[in-house]
């Protein structure tokens, strides 16, 4: 049995996910946050898990990862997309790579567009989409080599081709939702659903006038160093 625990950091509305194989107790943490490291390690110890990996869905611009601090305490392996060229990562992955977790396989899907380091992790009927596909939304495309057309292609060609009952666990939520499904987003996502055309999506995304994330100057370089060097 694959267990999934969804955790939340309220300041940046970030979801962190703890996954573990019930039989082997091997675990992975997706999108950790530096300010919740103590909470997450306490939970891992309480559940008597063997945390093997910290996985990043992308190089975040709104929060600092806790991966480096967790590695210092638990000896975990930090995994990031190869486009990050991060010197601190233990493993740089790309499309089609497999991360073994007990008897489960976590498949890496390249889903660029929000940034050029975006990954979706797929396993056992679930996808962890980071900022690529949110509940009734998607990530912005106006920084970190973002590209609206590329994001549309990632979602339509990689994610919307999955079974409709595939459960989506996003990197953030700002409206009180915790999960969705591929079928729901294909039907009801106002930016991407109901067969919105690529041209219309690109026009919509390029017309957004958004303030930069307030922590971007510290977060991006800090995350390239696994959260151990900030700014």
Q: CA dist 5 to 26, 37, 69, 170, Å? A: 14, 15, 20, 13
Name the DSSP letter for residue 137: E
7 phi and psi, to 5 degrees?
Answer: -120, 160
Please tell me the distance from the alpha carbon of residue 85 to that of residue 216, in angstroms, as a whole number.
18
Q: At the fourth CATH level, which superfamily is domain 2-210?
A: Ribonuclease Z/Hydroxyacylglutathione hydrolase-like (3.60.15.10)
C-alpha separations of 62 from 58, 59, 208 in Å? 11, 9, 18
* 3 state DSSP class of 22: coil
Q: Residue 212 CB: number of other CB atoms within 10 A?
A: 11
Rounded Cα–Cα distance for residues 114 and 140 (Å): 6
Nearest CA to 213 among 60, 10, 66, 8? 60
pLDDT at position 94, please?
Answer: 98
Residue 231: what pLDDT?
46
* Structure token pair of residue 209: 């006038």
Residue 183 φ then ψ, to 5°: -60, -45
Print pLDDT tens along the chain (231 aa): 999 999 999 999 999 999 999 999 999 999 999 999 999 999 999 999 999 999 999 999 999 999 999 999 999 999 999 999 999 999 999 999 999 999 999 999 999 999 999 999 999 999 999 999 999 999 999 999 999 999 999 999 999 999 999 999 999 999 999 999 999 999 999 999 999 999 999 999 999 999 999 889 999 999 999 999 754
CA distance 97 to 84: 16
């Amino acid at each position: 049995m694959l267990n999934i625990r969804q955790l939340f950091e309220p300041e940046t509305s970030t979801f962190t996910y703890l996954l573990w194989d019930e039989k082997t107790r091997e675990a992975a943490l997706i999108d950790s946050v530096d300010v919740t490291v103590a909470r997450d390690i306490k939970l891992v110890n309480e559940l008597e898990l063997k945390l093997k990996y910290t996985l990043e869905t992308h190089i975040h611009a709104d929060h600092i990862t806790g991966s480096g601090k967790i590695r210092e305490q638990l000896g975990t392996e930090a995994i990031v997309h190869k486009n990050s060229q991060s010197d601190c990562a233990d493993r740089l992955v790309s499309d089609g790579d497999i991360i073994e977790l007990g008897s489960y396989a976590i498949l890496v899907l390249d889903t660029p567009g929000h940034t050029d380091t975006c990954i979706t992790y797929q396993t056992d009927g679930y996808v962890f989409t980071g900022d690529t596909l949110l509940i009734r939304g998607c990530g912005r495309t106006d920084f970190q080599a973002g590209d609206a057309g590329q994001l549309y292609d990632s979602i339509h060609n990689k994610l919307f081709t999955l079974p409709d009952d595939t459960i989506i666990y996003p990197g953030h939520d700002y409206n009180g939702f915790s999960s969705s499904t591929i079928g729901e987003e294909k039907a009801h996502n106002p930016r991407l659903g109901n067969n919105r055309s690529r041209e219309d999506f690109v026009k919509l995304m390029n017309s957004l006038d958004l303030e930069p994330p307030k922590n971007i100057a510290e977060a991006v370089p800090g995350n390239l160093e696994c959260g151990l060097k900030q700014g």
